[in-house]
A = this chain, B = another copy of it.
Amino acid sequence: MSDDHPRYLAKELDANDPLAHLRDRFFVADDDLIYLDGNSLGRLPAATPAHLDRVIRHGWGDRLVRSWTSWIDWSRRIGDRLAATALGAREGEVAVSDSTSVNLYKLASAALDAAPAGRRTVLVDAEDFPTDRYVLQGLTDARGMTLRAMPSDLDHGLQPGELRAALDGDIALVLLSAVNYRSGALLDMATVNTAAREAGTVVLWDLSHAVGAIPVDLDGTGTDLAVGCTYKYLNGGPGAPAFLYVRRELQHRLRQPIQGWFGQRDQFRMAADYDPAPDVDRFLVGTPPILALAALDPALDVLDEAGVDRVREKGQRLGQLIIELTDAWLTPHGFRVASPRDPRRRGSHVSLHHPEALRISRALATQGRVVGDFRTPDRLRLGPAPLYTRFVDVWDAMDRLRDIAERRAWEQVADEPCRVT
């Protein structure tokens, strides 16, 4: 216990938290386990099992194939819900289906095909999530184009000035994450979109670590293209289908390469030739996984009730508490905050640097019963999720981490790489 940062202050923050009651909307079987990895896999909403059971027994079991008259629109319907709740997009601009990687591939490929002739370079952040770079690497290799990975600060991400300087006349597409998966560093989408537009190019945003954590305003920031996952702060479940966003005015000009029947105009006419749907449906491909889609409804209900602005405010305060307690308790043990300290420059998670971060994350989980995660090369990532993480959870987690640090408890832990998403 520390006199400067007593636990009761965290309890007071919880007592005054307008979102505190929402923790009960989640399934929490083990109150002693502190879960700070909602940015890998969000918790199970309490309403989800019964909702899925209904879709399974009634929709599938009773109604059988006849349910397709309803299911057929779910990619769009849930996309519209997500647009209104979390993305600041208009109706008909968002669809949910496939994985984030597949959606990235579709939109990046479409954007490259539509890029001005002669532009041969795709700009990415060297420190972005691997799959984002891999997908773009495949696309640029296949086209004989160049993938330029901008060096980026591991703690603070890309600086807008550096990014602007890199936007030369050869750039066909820029791929960026709104919130960096490792540090949580946040890019100002409006500023970047404007700079890209002035440079005659377009940005494809990966919103995986932003959606449900910070207010995203795709319309207001002039965003053209975005993708993101729904199993982190949206609590859609493991491998829940991802979303894609294409600004309405662009849709008719873009064609994605995977020409499946769910992207076909008037799909059930079964016409001989592919003719892409006139709207966002053209970015769909095959039959979407309905059970996985269904889990998004109860998840979005909770977010709707909270409101993203309140989620954001609490998220910032949870993050600041992690930083405060790191400074007070962990700096003497070789930890360093590896995320922007200014909450306006950071998403919902905070990373701590320590040379033994991998083994510390293991010890923290097994001995401390705190689930965070390790990120290469030497980061312990802590992702409080404002919908269900209490201030006292953060306090307790940091207290347990301090205990591990004081005992150097990681020295007995193996260091094979971990396998979390």
Contact = CB atoms under 8 A, between A and B. Distances in A.
Interface stretch (A171-179, A269-277, A392-400, A402-410): A269-277
Interface stretch (A56-64, A215-223, A244-252): A56-64
A295 B420 CA distance: 22
Contacts of A53: 49, 52-53
A286 B101 contact: yes
Nearest to A54: B49
A102 B64 contact: no
Contacts of A257: 105, 138-139, 142
Contacts of A271: 130
A205 interface: no
B260 A134 contact: yes
B417 A287 contact: no
A131 B260 contact: yes
A368 to B, nearest CB: 14
Contacts of A60: 41, 44, 237-238
A355 interface: no
A371 B418 CA distance: 49
Nearest to A417: B268
Contact of A285 (B101, B149, B365, B421): B101
Nearest to A241: B289
B260 A99 contact: yes
A2 interface: no
A371 B137 CA distance: 47
Interface residues on A, range: 35 or more
B52 A56 contact: yes
A328 interface: no
Residue with the greatest number of chain B CB neighbours at <10 A, chosen from A60, A66, A231: A60
Given A100-B286, A238-B287, A270-B376, 10 more contacts: A29-B61, A48-B56, A49-B53, A98-B102, A100-B287, A102-B260, A131-B261, A238-B291, A239-B291, A268-B418
A209 to B, nearest CB: 14
Interface centre among A56, A100, A240, A241 (most CB of B within 10 A): A56
Copies of this protein chain in the complex: 2
A420 B72 CA distance: 9
A285 B227 CA distance: 15
B44 A49 contact: no
Contacts of A134: 259-261, 263-264, 273-274
Contacts of A417: 268-269
A67 B35 CA distance: 13
Given A130-B270, A376-B269, A258 B421 contact: no
Q: Which 6 A-B pairs have the closest CB atoms?
A: A99-B286, A101-B260, A101-B286, A138-B259, A238-B290, A131-B261
A99 B97 CA distance: 10
Given A37-B64, A286-B100, A286-B131, A56 B237 contact: yes
22 contacts: A37-B64, A41-B64, A44-B60, A49-B56, A49-B57, A52-B52, A59-B238, A65-B420, A66-B420, A68-B420, A98-B99, A101-B258, A101-B261, A130-B271, A131-B260, A137-B274, A237-B291, A238-B290, A239-B287, A240-B289, A269-B417, A289-B291
